[in-house]
Amino acid sequence: VGDIFTRRVQALGGLGIVIDGVCRDISAIREVGLPLYARGVHGQGIDRRLMSVDTQQPVQISGVAVLPGDIVLGDGDGLVVLAPHTVHDVIAEASTHETLEAWIRAEISAGRGSLHTHYPPQPHVLDEFKAWMRSQGEDPSDMEFHL
C-alpha cells in the first residue's frame, strides 16, 4: 500500500487503513492525512496480483478477529478492536484510567511518590487518588481499576 492507494481509499470515504503487512511512500501518505497502521515500511510496491476483493467481511489482523460493525480505534501506540456493545463500558474505563495516569504523572512530576509505589499504583496510592477525585467533586465509588 502506498500513497496512491491511500488517496483512493480517502476518495471513497475511508477513515483509515489497517494493514497486516508493510506500506511504502510513508512521507506521501502522511501528507494525505489518512491514518494508516502497518507492521512497517518497505520500498517495494505491490503488483496487480494483489487487490482488494471484498468489504464488510470478517478478517484477522495480527491474530485479532475483526467483524463487520466492529469499531477500530488507533493512536500512536497502536490499535484496539471493540465490539459495538462494549464501547460504552470501554470508554468509561479508559476515561478513568487516563484520569488516574494524569494524576500519577502530576504526583511523580511534583516529587511525590515513586515508580515503585505509583506505577502500577499500590492500594494506598489508589486510596489517595480516590480522595483527590472526591476533592474535585467526583464520586470514585463506582470506579474499577484493571491495572
Tens-digit pLDDT profile for residues 7-56: 999 999 999 999 888 999 999 999 999 999 999 999 887 676 666 778 88
What's the structural domain count of the chain? 2
Given 55, 76, 97, the domain boundary residue is 76
Strands in 2-98 per DSSP E: 17-18, 22-23, 36-37, 40-41, 59-61, 64-66, 71-75, 78-82
CA angle centred on 64, ends 59 and 69, rounded to 5°: 55
* Phi (first) and psi of residue 40, to 5 degrees: 175, -170
Give the pLDDT confidence score for residue 116 in this predicted structure: 92
Distance between CA atoms of 15 and 24, rounded to whole angstroms? Answer: 19
CATH number of the domain enclosing 46: 3.50.30.40
Q: Which domain holds residue 53?
A: 3-76
pTM over 0.85: no
Residues 65 and 96 in one domain: no
Give the pLDDT confidence score for residue 50 in this predicted structure: 67
Residues 94 and 72 in one domain: no
Q: Is residue 16, in this structure, part of any structural domain at all?
A: yes
CA angle centred on 125, ends 122 and 130, rounded to 5°: 130
